Each structure stands twice: as C-alpha cells, then as structure tokens.
Amino acid sequence: MITLTPYQEEYRSNTLKRIGAFWGFHRDLVNKIEQQNSEEENSSILQDLKNWTSEDHWLFVILQDRMDVGFVHLQKIGPIVMQLEDIFVDEAMRGQGIASKAIALAEQEAQKIPGIEAMSLQVVTRNEAAMRLYHKLGYNTMSMVTLRKEFGENHRDQKAEFLGMTFQI
C-alpha cells in the first residue's frame, strides 16, 4: 500500500540521501560532471530541505507498506496552481507503480487547499520515462515552456524540433 506522510525529522537522513541522488540523476542526464566538493554539495542539499519545508511548500515522504521509499515535493506557485516540483523513488523500487500512486495522492493533497484548480510540473526533456509517465497520468496540457541558455559548455547532445525551431535537449 502506497501512502504519503508529511516530512518529519525521523525521515531526515534518508530524505537527504534521496535529494542528493535526485540531483545526481539529473546531472547524469546531460553527462555533466559536478564541480562541487562534497561539503558544498551537502550544504546545497541541506538548503534544499530547508526550502522544501518552508511556507507554500509541501514535502511528503512516500511510504510503501510503512517503509519510506521516496519523496514528493509540491509548491504553490500562484493562487490556483500547485506545482509538482520534485518526485523521487528509490531505484530498487521503481517500475512498481509507486510514482504513479504517489502523484495521484499528491494531487489529492493539492485539491484540499482552497482555490487550487490545477497541478503543473516541469520535466527535463531528456527524461523520456518521466515524460511518458506524466503524459499517461493526464499531464497533457502544455502551459509554459522553460528555455535555458548555457553560460558554459553545453553538455546536451540531442536536438528536438518544436514549433519550427530546433532546441538542444
């Protein structure tokens, strides 16, 4: 059985490890070697946890049969929209529908907040598995597109066409 529980200190150690693994996964998507040392990275992860538990943020621990297996981070980004900021399921637990169920539960939590009419999310274009999952779960309305300009070397070696323009992904 999959449930969400609001983040509590008893989950701190596992949640900090998962935040680090989450960012590591995203660095790997673009073959970027992280420049931070472990002290800087730990400081960044601690800051993320602080931010993700501040006002207008909701951090939930994903439980499978009462064992913590991941997290979901939501943020209210306007008067009517909740954003699914981050979701992470331990690698060994993937492929079991945990993320799908956790997202459905997160949507239920968001709907409890007065005025919330929609859930949005951003997904890294190279994360095709996530894009397919989100689309399957009904995230099929394109509302905003995030564009990015790299100031250093661009590690993105794939291209995509969108509205007659070519983008690196």
Q: For residue range 25-43, list pLDDT tens digits in order.
A: 666 555 555 555 566 667 8
Q: For residue range 49-106, list pLDDT tens digits in order.
A: 999 999 999 999 999 999 999 999 999 999 999 999 999 999 999 999 999 999 999 9
Find residue 168's DSSP bridge partners. Answer: 159
The full set of domain ranges for the chain reads 2-122
The domain made up of 2-122 has a fold known as Aminopeptidase (3.40.630)
Q: For residue range 108-145, list pLDDT tens digits in order.
A: 999 999 999 999 999 888 888 889 999 999 999 988 88
d(CA 26, CA 44): 15
Q: What is the pTM of this model?
A: 0.84
SS (H, E, C) 106-159: HHHHHHCCCCCCEEEECCCCCCHHHHHHHHHCCCCCCCCCCCCCCCCCCCCCCE
- Mapped onto helix, strand or coil, the DSSP state of residue 159 is strand
**Closest C-alpha among 48, 57, 3 to residue 23:** 48
